[in-house]
Amino acid sequence: MIGKTGLRILVITWVLFVVAAPDASAQRTSIKPGINSFSPQQDIQLGRHAAAEVEQKLPMCNDPKVDAYLTKVGQRLVEHLNTRGIDYPWEFHCVNDKAINAFALPGGFVFINRGAIEAADSEAQLAGVMAHELSHVALRHGTNQATKAQYAQLGAGIMGAAGSLFGGAAGAAAAGAGNLTFGSVLLHYSRGAETQADVMGTQVLYDSGYDPRAMAAFFENLNASAESKGPPEFFSDHPNPDHRIERVETEIRKLGGVPEGAQKDSAEFEAIKREVAALPAPSKAKPVRPAGSKSGGLGAIPRPESPSESSEYLRYGKATIAYPANWKRYGKKNDVVLVPSGGVIDSGNGQGVLGWGVIAGIANRKEKNPNSGEALRNGTQSLIASLQKENDAMEVDKGPSDFTVAGLPALSTYLHNDSPAGGTETDWLVTVIGPQGLYYYVFVSPESDFPRFKPAFENIVNSVQFQTK
Ligand SMILES: [Zn+2]
């Protein structure tokens, strides 16, 4: 009874809040983030990891004066940004690249090309670009994209899943840099996301005391430069939505017009622009040398650290599994990829490929009888066929042979494939019919490193539990 009453009070308060909200927030457009299977903490982790890679691979301005100025403008905007209570570790860096572009990684790692600073006519225009980027972070558009990609990919392919999550065709910001974690998925926004970032960015600009028209003015500059020099790089990361400029102007009207005394420029901006113009020419992309590389018969690819003893728990579908606490987890409700740090390898064409880790999912959802040996065998065979379709070099070595998972009849199959780390890869496939269909686990490691990971793989299999109702 107490629980029920408490619940009711909560619901009523919430309804009142929703009803009251529009009065409190004038005319401005309210913007909601899209679906996201990542936690804000994962945004920060993913962004931090990718930012370290960006700094290693892209030529940075390395000018403390410029970075300090970007940080100052950025922090002024952040104060007026609705992050929904999330405290992001904001960082702002100048990239020594003359292409007009800027990008923000999930979690608040913002990179502004010198080309964007040079193309801005005023501090307000630069602040406009930055407010747009900050809005992508606050609305978590990067991992929203990744979430949508997972929904699309994990349903269709299996081995392709990790690849599509981590890379895909190189994003413009990462062109030529051999991107791994910050490819087209994290940075290639939809036009809907662009409009959201424009509208929210206009609000942030307005609230921070900048002339909000600067947002539209910067895009007009880009459009003008596109006519003479071709589309700027900015538009490949931030595709132009229809009526971009009109939408910004509409929002300014909703906000009540341009406030008197709104700031357009500053002497500091003009000084920074001169500072940037005097920077040395961009150097060629740095050679890629993985840090902390250990040799392990795998050439230049560093081996991931060994699985930790402590575990994290994961519920998906109607299963619970435990996995090493130092692994990362990606995926949606019913399809997950568990990866040790460094377990995804750059295939060399901007695509990230799973080298070490586990893909867990549910296939053949019609079959729910755990004791149907025939369904288990057929389901496993068609899964193997689809794995082989995605992986030309994949062949069965051993099995399927009888196995047990969570006390239910299961099958164990060993396959091999070409490893993205070089040499041969061992793929251990375990299948079992659980409450929602054929549960499968594909354990992946280079053959030479398989013994080191096998105990962790076995622990995962042994930890599988199904909810019975
Ligand atoms: Zn954008």
Mean local confidence (pLDDT), 232-255: 88
Pairing of strands 109-113, 91-95: parallel
Ligand 1 centre and the CA of 154: distance in Å?
26
The crossing angle, in degrees rounded to 10, of helices 123-138 and 213-229 is: 100
d(CA 198, CA 172) in angstroms, rounded, equals 20
Q: Which residues pair with 319 in a beta bridge?
A: 316, 466
Query: What are the residues whose beta carbon lies below 5 Å from ligand 1 (ion)?
Result: 194, 197, 238
* 218-246 core/surface letters (b: 16 or more CB in 10 A; e: else): bbebbeeeeeeeeebbbbbbbebbeebbe
Kindly report the backbone phi and psi dihedral angles of residue 272, in degrees, each rounded to the nearest multiple of 5, phi listed first.
Answer: -65, -35
Task: Quote the pLDDT of residue 348.
Answer: 54
Task: Count Cβ atoms below 10 Å from residue 140 Cβ, excluding itself.
Answer: 24
Please give the distance, rounded to the nearest whole angstrom, from the Cα atom of residue 324 to the centre of ligand 1: 36
- Percent of the chain beyond pLDDT 70? 79
Angle at CA 186, nearest 5°, toward 181 and 190?
160
CA of 425 to the centre of ligand 1 (A): 39
pLDDT at 331 exceeding the cut of 60: yes
**Among residues 61, 80, 404, 426, which one has the least CA distance to residue 255?**
80
Collapse the DSSP code of 187 into the 3-class scheme (helix H, G, I; strand E, B; otherwise coil) and give the result. Answer: helix
Q: How far, in Å, from the CA of 197 to the mean position of ligand 1?
A: 6
Determine contact, residues 315/105, Cβ cutoff 8 Å.
Answer: no
- Whether 21 has a pLDDT exceeding 60, the answer reads no
Tokens representing 292 are 């902390």
**From the CB of residue 31, how many other CB atoms can be counted at a distance below 10 Å?**
15
| CA 28 to ligand 1 center in whole angstroms | 20
Residue 234 Cα to ligand 1 midpoint, Å, equals: 8
Whether the pLDDT of residue 380 is over 50: the answer is yes
Q: Ligand 1 centre from 172 Cα, in Å?
A: 12
> Would you state the pLDDT for residue 209?
97
Lowest mean pLDDT among 3-7, 69-73, 398-402: 3-7
What is the distance in A from the centroid of ligand 1 to the CA of 156? Answer: 28
Tell how far the Cα of 102 is from the centroid of ligand 1, in angstroms.
9
Please say if the pLDDT value at position 8 is more than 70.
no
* pLDDT reported for residue 329: 83
